Amino acid sequence: MAKHKDKNDPVHLNHLANEKSPYLLQHATNPVDWYPWGDEAFDLARREDKPIFLSIGYSTCHWCHVMEHESFEKEDVAALLNDTFVCIKVDREERPDIDNVYMTVCQMMTGGGGWPMTIIMTPDHEPFFAATYIPKAGLMQLARRVKTLWSGDQRQQLIAHAGEITAALNKATNQSSGANLGLAQLKSAYSQLAARYDSANGGFGSQPKFPTAHNLTFLLRWWSRTHDDHALKMVENTLDHMRRGGMYDQVGFGFCRYSTDSHWFVPHFEKMAYDQALLALAYTEAWQATGKEEYRRTAEEILTYVLRDMTSPDGGFYTAEDADSDGKEGLFYLWSADELRKVLGDDADLAMRVYGATEKGNYHEEASGRAAGTNILFLPQPLDDVAKAEGMPRADLDKKLESIRTRLFAVREKRVHPQKDDKVLTDINGLMMAAFARAGRVFGDDRYTDAARAAVRFIDQKMKSPDGGLFHRYRDGSAAITSMVDDYAFQAWGRLELYETTFDPADLDAAIDYASYLRDHFWDTASGGLYFTADGSESLIAREKKAYDGAVPSGNSVAMLVFIEIARITGVPKWENDANAIGAAFATQVSRAPVAFTQMMSAVDFVVGPTFEVVIAGEPGTPGTRRMLHALRSRYIPRKVVLLRTSSNADRVAALAPFTRLQSEMNGNTTAYVCRNHACDLPTTDPSEMERLLGLRQ
Find the mean pLDDT for residues 497-501.
97
Predicted local distance difference test score (pLDDT) of residue 11: 53
410 and 425 both lie in a single domain: no
**How many Cα atoms sit within 13 Å of 377 on the Cβ side?**
28
Provide the domain count of the chain.
4
The answer to whether 208 and 172 have CB atoms below 8 angstroms apart is no
CA 167 to CA 124: how far, in whole Å? 14
242 and 276 both lie in a single domain: yes
Domain final position from 396, 417, 438:
417
CA distances from 22 to 247, 551, 588 (A): 25, 21, 39
290 pLDDT above the threshold of 90: yes
For 7, residues 6+ apart whose C-beta sits below 8 A from its C-beta are: 29, 30, 73
Report if residue 4 sits inside a domain. no
Measure the CA dihedral 270/276/282/287, to 10°: 110
121 and 192 both lie in a single domain: no
364 and 402 both lie in a single domain: yes
CA 547 to CA 315: how far, in whole Å? 30
Domain that holds residue 74: 22-173
Report if residue 7 sits inside a domain. no
Find the mean pLDDT for residues 82-111.
94
CATH number at residue 634: 3.40.30
Percent of the chain scoring above 70 in pLDDT = 97
Predicted local distance difference test score (pLDDT) of residue 7: 45
Report if residue 316 sits inside a domain. yes
Report if residue 14 sits inside a domain. no
Predicted local distance difference test score (pLDDT) of residue 176: 64
CATH number at residue 444: 1.50.10.10
For 560, residues 6+ apart whose C-beta sits below 8 A from its C-beta are: 579, 582, 583, 600, 603, 604, 607
CA 206 to CA 254: how far, in whole Å? 23
Report if residue 12 sits inside a domain. no
Q: Which of 67-76, 306-315, 579-588, 660-669 has the lowest mean pLDDT?
A: 660-669
623 and 645 both lie in a single domain: yes
93 and 226 both lie in a single domain: no
CA distances from 326 to 72, 333, 414, 420 (A): 19, 12, 13, 13
What single letter denotes the amino acid at residue 444?
G
CA 456 to CA 462: how far, in whole Å? 10
Report if residue 265 sits inside a domain. yes
Predicted local distance difference test score (pLDDT) of residue 368: 46
CATH number at residue 167: 3.40.30.10
> What tens digit of pLDDT does each residue of 141-153 get?
999 999 999 998 8
In this structure, the number of other CB atoms found within 10 A of the CB of residue 135 comes to: 12
Domain final position from 150, 173, 196:
173
> What tens digit of pLDDT does each residue of 145-178 get?
999 999 988 889 999 999 999 999 888 777 667 7
Residue 258 pLDDT level (bands cut at 50, 70, 90): very high
Pairing relationship of beta strands 52-57 and 86-91 according to DSSP bridges: parallel
68 pLDDT above the threshold of 50: yes
Of residues 108 and 365, the one with the higher pLDDT is 108
319 and 362 both lie in a single domain: no
476 pLDDT above the threshold of 80: yes
> What tens digit of pLDDT does each residue of 542-585 get?
999 999 999 999 999 999 999 999 999 999 999 999 999 999 99
> What tens digit of pLDDT does each residue of 215-234 get?
999 999 999 999 999 999 99
Find the mean pLDDT for residues 309-317.
97
506 and 440 both lie in a single domain: yes
Predicted local distance difference test score (pLDDT) of residue 86: 96
Predicted local distance difference test score (pLDDT) of residue 395: 95
CA 469 to CA 333: how far, in whole Å? 40
For 438, residues 6+ apart whose C-beta sits below 8 A from its C-beta are: 281, 284, 497, 501
Q: Which of 9-13, 386-390, 615-619, 643-647 has the lowest mean pLDDT?
A: 9-13
CA 495 to CA 455: how far, in whole Å? 10
410 and 455 both lie in a single domain: no
10 pLDDT above the threshold of 60: no
Question: How confident is the prediction for the chain on average, in pLDDT?
Answer: 93
Predicted local distance difference test score (pLDDT) of residue 369: 55
> What tens digit of pLDDT does each residue of 22-38 get?
999 999 999 999 999 99
247 and 270 both lie in a single domain: yes
Q: pTM for the complete prediction?
A: 0.93
Report if residue 580 sits inside a domain. yes
2 pLDDT above the threshold of 50: no
- Which one, of 267, 251, 287, 254, lies nearest residue 210 by Cα? 267
390 and 477 both lie in a single domain: no
Report if residue 10 sits inside a domain. no
289 pLDDT above the threshold of 70: yes
Residue 364 pLDDT level (bands cut at 50, 70, 90): confident
- Which one, of 459, 438, 461, lies nearest residue 448 by Cα? 438
398 and 505 both lie in a single domain: no
CA 615 to CA 409: how far, in whole Å? 46
CA 273 to CA 264: how far, in whole Å? 19
Predicted local distance difference test score (pLDDT) of residue 3: 37
Predicted local distance difference test score (pLDDT) of residue 366: 58
Domain final position from 417, 449, 481:
417
In this structure, the number of other CB atoms found within 10 A of the CB of residue 107 comes to: 14
689 pLDDT above the threshold of 90: yes
Tally DSSP H helices, then E strands, for the chain. 27, 19
